[in-house]
Structure 1
Amino acid sequence: MNSEIEKIQNKEYSIKYGVVFNESWNLFTKLIGVGALAVILYSFASFLVNFLLESLTGFRNVTNEFMMDIQGIQDPNVLLYEVQDFYMEHMNTLLITRLGTEFVMLLAFPLAGGFMMVCRELDKNGAFNIGTLFEGFKPQYWSRLMVLAVIYFFISKIATVFFVLPGIYIWVAAVIACPIVMFTNASGVQAFTTSIKLVNKNWFTVFQILFVASLIGIAGYLLCLVGRIVTYPLVLVTVYMLYKHIVGFQENEIEEIGHS
């Protein structure tokens, strides 16, 4: 383990819910446009991948036929039974399609890394370059982000399958792994373990901050698609701000962004 990562892991810190959330909200209001762009790009790619996988597995055709079959059903109890029976019968195909989409979409994970860079640029310099959003796709970041994404994908799925609470724990504990990759020389494995070690020192406070940010994102999703596009980036901004308050930055670390 290099000395930089070891120093970060041994760091002691304190965070306050109100301070982190207020700073996250203030930065978020300045990044609504680029945040919405990131969500739109990801959502479009996810839709395309899901469409292709549903077509390959035949699930799309089966679903269309099912929708036509139930059009004339008026009794809500019969309708509910038919829907339950349909999804139970095709559960394996549905899981393959859903998990397959999520796994393929790991390739888009560098967008989150680039957004971390955008947050830092605006936070420090008061302005940002839109090209920075795609910084995570550069070779020096991409391979490490892919390792991190694959590790998180499998561990979080296993944790969730066994019980919901372990899944929530991993979601919170690994939350700053992405910015650790982007702002340090940590490998994907180091970033994952370092995030867990640091967040565990104040896990519940971090959970509170993420929970509120996520509720706002979910509220936007429930309202409409546009609401999700606008509000979900708040979660990403909050991740950046957690990194800032937990790990912090050296004075000149931003100078290489966009030039490496």
Structure 2
Amino acid sequence: MSDIYKAPEAQLTSGEEGGGYGSLERGVAGDYSISIGEIFGEAWRRTKGNKGTVWLAIILYIVAFVVVSFVAGMITGYSAFDIEQQANASFGSTILYQILVNLIAAPLTAGMMMIGIKIARDEKTSATEVFAHFDKLLPLVVANIIMSILVTIGIFLLVLPGIYLAVAYMLTLPLIVDKNLGPWQALETSRKAITKHWFAFFGFLIVALLLYVAGALPLLIGLIWVLPLLAIAFGVVYRNVFGGPESA
């Protein structure tokens, strides 16, 4: 009897190594290294000439998210921008609102992630990459929903399982658009790969959070440099683990 929780080996080993970095097979096997200092050092160097691209993508993301949130609020009667309206909204309206917003947020987030990844791999990209992955809408949304449910359950189970899964699933969305994996395959591939070096990834996220806070403190001015740095650092991490795109 086959194990339904195991990502198919055929899809996990078919990718070619990208640029001398990782691959699906090597990533799942844990055959990679995570050096936080080297990752942020490389990401900082790569921000030169790429800050404008990342920032324009961020602006496009925010505008799209605000518009979708506004439209979803008009449809459901729930508003993310009105606390009083939130208090009066029904449970059904709240759930419908979250579903509608998630339909747009998942591919937008995947697009933002892919910008950092493509910069890390010296591939051509632009700010409009943020809108480039709506063809993967269904698997991205399904993966986001499964991820949210499992992390929430883990949080209720003594918190630590939720923290483990939140970190372990951080590479799920780009795996769907970059490696053409299905939702569960991407979740399991991300989890298996990250579990091999989980504490290194946890440390990476802690450093990223500290940099974000430090950038936000002086009137948010530091975020001009920090947000592109973080986007590209994520791309470097993904590249080191999973390498380049799947060959057609």
Structures share fold, TM-score greater than 0.5: yes
Partner AA of 1:34 in structure 2 = T
Match of 1:56 among 77, 82, 102: 77
Q: Does 1:133 align with 2:143?
A: no
Which 10-residue stretch deviates more, 236-245 or 220-229?
A: 220-229
Aligned to 2:150: 155
1:213-249, CA deviations, whole angstroms, 9 ceiling, x for partnerless residues?
1222234445556765763454433322111111222
Larger Rg: 1
Per the TM alignment, residue 159 of structure 1 is displaced from its structure 2 partner at its CA by 2.6
Which 10-residue stretch deviates more, 122-131 or 236-245?
A: 122-131
Q: Does 1:104 align with 2:100?
A: yes
Q: Does 1:115 align with 2:117?
A: no
| CA–CA separation in structure 1 for the residues paired with 2:215 and 2:78 | 31
| CA–CA separation in structure 1 for the residues paired with 2:93 and 2:220 | 22
Contact 1:116 1:182 in 2 (8 A): no
Partner AA of 2:210 in structure 1 = L
- Written as runs of structure 1 = structure 2, the 5 A alignment for 1:220-231 is 220-224=215-219, 231=226
Per the TM alignment, residue 47 of structure 1 is displaced from its structure 2 partner at its CA by 4.0
Q: Assess, with a 3 A threshold, how the Cα gap between structure 1 residues 152 and 31 changes in structure 2: closer, same or farther.
A: farther
Q: Secondary structure at the match of 1:109?
A: helix
- Written as runs of structure 1 = structure 2, the 5 A alignment for 1:1-260 is 1-6=8-13, 7=25, 8-48=27-67, 53=73, 56-57=77-78, 63=84, 90=87, 102-106=98-102, 107-125=104-122, 127-137=124-134, 139=135, 141-224=136-219, 231-249=226-244, 253=245
Which 10-residue stretch deviates more, 29-38 or 238-247?
A: 29-38
Q: Assess, with a 3 A threshold, how the Cα gap between structure 1 residues 207 and 101 changes in structure 2: closer, same or farther.
A: farther
- The count of residues paired between Structure 1 and Structure 2 equals 226
Contact 1:120 1:254 in 2 (8 A): no
TM-score by length of 2: 0.71
Which 10-residue stretch deviates more, 30-39 or 221-230?
A: 221-230
Instruction: Give the gaps of 5 or more residues in structure 2.
Output: 1-7, 14-24
Q: Secondary structure at the match of 2:77?
A: helix
| CA–CA separation in structure 2 for the residues paired with 1:149 and 1:28 | 28
Q: Whose relative contact order is higher, 1 or 2, with alpha carbons under 8 Å and at least 6 apart?
A: 2
| CA–CA separation in structure 2 for the residues paired with 1:110 and 1:33 | 21
Contact 1:176 1:240 in 2 (8 A): no
Contact 1:109 1:149 in 2 (8 A): yes
Q: Assess, with a 3 A threshold, how the Cα gap between structure 1 residues 199 and 215 changes in structure 2: closer, same or farther.
A: same
Per the TM alignment, residue 148 of structure 1 is displaced from its structure 2 partner at its CA by 1.5
Partner AA of 2:175 in structure 1 = I
Contact 1:210 1:235 in 2 (8 A): no
1:48-79, CA deviations, whole angstroms, 9 ceiling, x for partnerless residues?
55556498258977749xxxxxxxxxxxxxxx
Q: Assess, with a 3 A threshold, how the Cα gap between structure 1 residues 179 and 28 changes in structure 2: closer, same or farther.
A: farther
TM-score by length of 1: 0.68
Partner AA of 2:174 in structure 1 = P
Per the TM alignment, residue 15 of structure 1 is displaced from its structure 2 partner at its CA by 1.9
Q: Secondary structure at the match of 2:113?
A: helix
Per the TM alignment, residue 255 of structure 1 is displaced from its structure 2 partner at its CA by 9.1
Which 10-residue stretch deviates more, 224-233 or 186-195?
A: 224-233
Per the TM alignment, residue 177 of structure 1 is displaced from its structure 2 partner at its CA by 1.3
Per the TM alignment, residue 155 of structure 1 is displaced from its structure 2 partner at its CA by 1.8
Instruction: Give the gaps of 5 or more residues in structure 1.
Output: 65-86
